[in-house]
Amino acid sequence: MTFNDFNFDPQLFEGVQSMGYLKPTPIQEQAIPLILDNKDLIACAQTGTGKTASYLLPVLQHISTTDKKHTKALILAPTRELAQQIDQQVEGLAYFAGISSIAVYGGGDGMVYEQQRRAMMDGVDIIIATPGRLIAQLSSGVIKLSHVEYLVLDEADRMLDMGFYEDILRIISYIPAKRQTMLFSATMPPKIRTLANTILKNPEQISLAISQPAVGILQQVYMTFDNQKIRLISGILKNGNYGSVLIFASRKETVKDLNRTLKREGIKAEAFHSDLEQEQRETILRAFKARTLPVIIGTDVLSRGIDVEGISLVINFDVPPDPEDYIHRIGRTARAETTGTAITFVNEKDQRKFSYIENLIGREIERVPLPEELGEGPAYQPEVKRKGTFKRKKPLTNNKKKVI
């Protein structure tokens, strides 16, 4: 299949070519025809699969054939980083088609709020918003969503995790019932199904064989005690010839501590977490994209929002709380068919959580011995019950195709 097969408007096709997309990804092959055919859709797809363009392209195609007086499409996303990233893809894809968009998210100053409000009042074609900020704008009563025909919920599971369920329903109450709705989610827990039953009409369902990291990622693991981790990470960063590096830690405090320690070691790094102002986050991401900042250390906030080409190494300083987050974290490297390395540090307490990850991806990750000068790491004994270890509430999904 090629992008020619979708019969896009020539200007939209030009946008696809200018983005350098040569052929549709599997999710695009499946989702684009359904959305072009006006079907509601529930799709289980992760970031890194090309899911954003899989809904943007058909929505842009729909919009390109209608008048451009009112807002026609609303895309809801959990974080400002994801909202911005979607907006950037719209800008690229819709550049020649002359379709306008605005990303609406919290955290900016009064001027940003006013800019967002103006764009929405002027009937921008596509609004990409985080739910909280959109509610604030809607409450002012000036913005109308009464001409919206296309509604997309992106990373719906993450939005529900962040407590946006009620906000989403409230936003939808401003949108006509006669609309096309598309829900994208990396996981399909029961609450997503409940939401889907409430807001979708006879949806088509797509389920990619998910939970598989991109093939280009070399995955490795070190069994290590906590007091060996710092020496290990600075050794890797100093000795390896890595370009752009992302380091993940589950807690904000760990991120901040690690940032201080690495800086002391002479490594140029910045911390990225929810305490930062929007502007600080953007400055960090800009420097990282411009390759003047080689290392970012972040919480999982970072794993959903960052879309930077050429990240060569991802390090999990600890094992993420949810096995799916592992896929999200390491999916930041080897984007769109390049190669990259993902290294995970597993202490004795995280071994069981780590075994769930291997269970989820259906294979063993390569064990790398610690450098000799660090001494022995812990033996791998995931079955041993330890105080304070991870407890799973639900049975494990194994490496099967997800059934919605």
- Which residues contact ligand AMP (rule: CB under 6 A)? 21, 24-25, 28, 47-53, 89, 307, 335-336
In the chain, the amino acid numbered 360 is L
Q: How far is the CB of 128 from ligand AMP (least distance, A)?
A: 13
Judged by CB, which is closer to ligand AMP: 49, or 254? 49
Q: Which is nearer to ligand AMP, 99 or 269 (CB)?
A: 99
Min. distance of Cβ 22 from ligand AMP in angstroms? Answer: 6
Residues near 292 by beta carbon (within 8 Å), at least 6 away in sequence:
none
Amino acid found at 48: G
Residue with tokens 């097969």: 5
Residue with smaller CB distance to ligand AMP, 184 or 317: 184
Closest CB to ligand AMP among residues 216, 378: 216
3-state secondary structure of 33: helix
Nearest approach in angstroms of CB 336 to ligand AMP is 4
Residue (21 or 248) nearer to ligand AMP, CB? 21
C-alpha–C-alpha distance, residues 30 and 145, integer Å: 29
305 versus 323: smaller Cβ distance to ligand AMP: 305
Place of tokens 């921008």: 124
Task: Find the shortest distance in angstroms from Cβ 81 to ligand AMP.
Answer: 11
Report residue 232 CA to chain centroid gap: 28
Q: Give me the residues paired with residue 307 across strands.
A: none
- The least CB distance from residue 335 to ligand AMP, in Å, is 5
Q: State which residue, 25 or 312, has the beta carbon closest to ligand AMP.
A: 25
**Distance in Å, CB of 183 to ligand AMP, minimum:** 15
State the nearest-atom distance from the C-beta of 199 to ligand AMP, in Å. 22
Q: Least distance in Å: CB of 20 to ligand AMP?
A: 7
Other Cβ atoms less than 10 A from the Cβ of 373: the count is 7
Closest CA to 17 of 125, 124, 97, 101: 97
Among residues 217, 249, 212, 235, the alpha carbon closest in space to that of 360 is found at 212
Which CB, 21 or 288, lies closer to ligand AMP? 21
Q: Which is nearer to ligand AMP, 49 or 219 (CB)?
A: 49
Nearer to ligand AMP, 93 or 365 (CB): 93
State the burial class of residue 274 (Cβ atoms within 10 Å of its Cβ: 0-12, 13-18, 19+).
exposed
The rounded distance, in Å, linking the Cα atoms of 55 and 49 is: 12
Percent of the chain that is helix, strand, coil (3-state, to 5): 40, 15, 40
Tell the smallest beta-carbon distance from residue 305 to ligand AMP (Å). 10
Q: Name residue, tokens 């064990």.
A: 367
Q: Which of 339, 266, 257 is nearest to 299 (CA)?
A: 257
- Alpha helices per DSSP H over 65-202: 80-93, 110-121, 131-139, 156-161, 165-172, 190-199
CB 323 within 8 A of CB 46: no
Strands 295-298 and 269-272: parallel
Is residue 74 exposed (0-12), middle (13-18) or buried (19+ Cβ within 10 Å)? buried
For residue 167, the minimal CB distance to ligand AMP (Å) is 23
